[in-house]
Structure 1
Amino acid sequence: FIRIILRHGRGVGLYGRCKAYFGTVEAQGKETLHLHLLLWLEGHLSPQDLRDKISTSEFYKKKVLKWLESIIMTGFPSSNSEHLIYADRMTRVRHTDMGNPHPGTLMSPLILQFTHTFWTEFQEDVTSLLYKYNWHEHQATCWKYLKRGQEKKDANCRLRMDGVTRSVSDVDPQTYAIQLRRLHPWLASYTDVVTFLLRCNMEIKFVGSGEAAKVFLYYVTDYITKPSLPVHAGMAALSYALKKLSEKAESGTISSAVSAVMTAVNSMMGRQEISHPQVMSYLIGGGDHYTSESFVTLQWGSILRFVE
């Protein structure tokens, strides 16, 4: 993805010239690994500057919307094929219902064998992958942040998959937030070439303009830097930390409140669990994050001595 699709440091990629990237690897409940990635593109304005630009230039606004629509798809690919399998695109079609192999395991059409039928085959291939990977169906995780009494309905989906469609892209005249068109109510946004090449689920979001962009940017950075300790594991780790803390307190080995906190934190961090795919990824050099940048190591001991 980084070398071929982004082409970082090698010229213009699919999304433009990538200046920098930072992503973290995470294991979900099923233990499968996925990547949360932030991209910085050359020439891209800051949220405030972008807002100012699109509010004063109709030409620039149209160019931005056209570019976004070329890389962020929200509906199925258009096809002239008369294939009847995907005729009703408001109803999810599963490969198991049709007796077909998993679409992610099938070989994609080869452009080396380019014929007049390639783009039709490309669109049908992407369509089958979207039915499998990008079709949203509400799960328990959609409602996990609802307050008592709040209804489990489309409008309250945590992932903002509310079933609302929008035929054209535009800019809100009040907030100048970019509102991309949404052609299908249940498809997560994607880039067709990425889906075709990687054959897995993906979702793409644009950090746009105005206050909404600043809020979204905070959400993204907070999410990709969150600790990977789920609630059930956190409670078990906390229980273990308190037990170790109590043992040290009884033996008189804790000399200060700072030492007590460090004992608790170290005990908790040592009890984190990681999945089998994570272990295998580390063993083959996959790592837990990918970045084009270098960072200064934070020496906790030096900071502690300075504070004391």
Structure 2
Amino acid sequence: LLLWIQNSVSPQEIRNRIMDPSSDFQTRMIEYLESAHQGEYKGSCEDLVKGDLDDKESQNGYVPPSQLMPVPPPAFCDCSQDGCIPCKRYSDWNRDYEDTVNDLLFRCNRHACSKSNCLDNPYKTCKARFPRQVIDTSMTDPHTGAICVKHKEPWLNTFNLVMPYLQRCNSDATSLLSGTAIKSTISYVTDYITKCSLNTHVIFQSVASIFDK
């Protein structure tokens, strides 16, 4: 999915406003980017997520969230009154939501290099360019206006927290803040949507071969 925000400013306009020392645009832009996509687990780290996952898998009846449908949130309540049932219900759901997202990220989004896959090349380096550079705090280059969004997990791509919860699978999300990135992504997407569809008999042959296995 390539999402173009209507009436959004161009990458050059964003750069000019970021470079303006008298504006708070830079701070608000970073806050927006951090809310739209992340590069770390929700309130945790890989070691803690793995430990929690090991504990869950040791329990009888545990079903991975990738095999379950998402649970819609209850009505939101923030009255903060002691004993408020709607508040507790929403708080419990939110805690389960974060645990589920971390579970899915560890299962589906985490990259693991292998000799038969990404390392299968003459240079023996990961073709997917993992591990990613770890950036503890979002920052802006004062000379170019380039934004580096914080990314604390080297084996994860950036993602939107809601998408794994809804889709129950691997999904990446990134912000296109340069003309080069926009052009390359549009070329990648249009290459897929313009591919010729398979003939019906080829589809049936593929289905038959799967059942034969």
Pairing 1:153-302 to 2, within 5 Å after superposition: 157-208=126-177, 213-226=178-191, 276=203
**Cα distance 1:138–1:218, how it changes in 2: closer, same or farther (>3 A)?**
farther
Q: Contact 2:49–2:106 at 8 Å: present in 1 too?
A: no
**In 2, Cα distance between the equivalents of 1:270 and 1:124?**
39
Correspondence 1:55 to 2:15: no
How far off its partner does 1:108 sit?
A: 3.4
How far off its partner does 1:219 sit?
A: 1.7
Residue 215 of structure 1 aligns to which amino acid in structure 2?
A: T
Higher relative contact order (CA 8 A, sep 6+): 2
How far off its partner does 1:76 sit?
A: 0.8
TM-score (norm 2): 0.71
**In 2, Cα distance between the equivalents of 1:92 and 1:191?**
22
Q: Contact 1:103–1:132 at 8 Å: present in 2 too?
A: no
Correspondence 1:128 to 2:103: yes
Aligned-residue CA RMSD in angstroms?
3.7
**In 2, Cα distance between the equivalents of 1:227 and 1:162?**
27
Question: Alignment identity in percent?
Answer: 21
Structure 2 gap segments, 5+ residues each: 76-85, 208-213
How far off its partner does 1:215 sit?
A: 1.9
Please state whether the residue corresponding to 1:48 is helix, strand or coil: helix
**In 2, Cα distance between the equivalents of 1:62 and 1:276?**
51
Q: Which residue matches 2:4?
A: 40
**Cα distance 1:90–1:61, how it changes in 2: closer, same or farther (>3 A)?**
farther
Specify which of 138, 142, 148 is matched with residue 113 of structure 2: 138
**In 2, Cα distance between the equivalents of 1:274 and 1:128?**
39
**In 1, Cα distance between the equivalents of 2:6 and 2:198?**
42
Q: Which residue matches 2:48?
A: 88
**In 1, Cα distance between the equivalents of 2:170 and 2:201?**
22
How far off its partner does 1:96 sit?
A: 10
Residue 28 of structure 2 aligns to which amino acid in structure 1?
A: K
Question: Could you say which structure has the higher strand fraction?
Answer: 1
**In 2, Cα distance between the equivalents of 1:102 and 1:123?**
14
Q: Which residue matches 1:74?
A: 39
Q: Contact 1:92–1:131 at 8 Å: present in 2 too?
A: no
How far off its partner does 1:87 sit?
A: 5.5
**In 2, Cα distance between the equivalents of 1:104 and 1:274?**
32
Bigger Rg, which one: 1
Please state whether the residue corresponding to 1:222 is helix, strand or coil: helix
**In 2, Cα distance between the equivalents of 1:72 and 1:38?**
14
Q: Which residue matches 1:102?
A: 64
How far off its partner does 1:121 sit?
A: 0.9
1:198-229 C-alpha deviation (Å, 9 max, x unpaired)? 22211001011xxxx22212221221122689
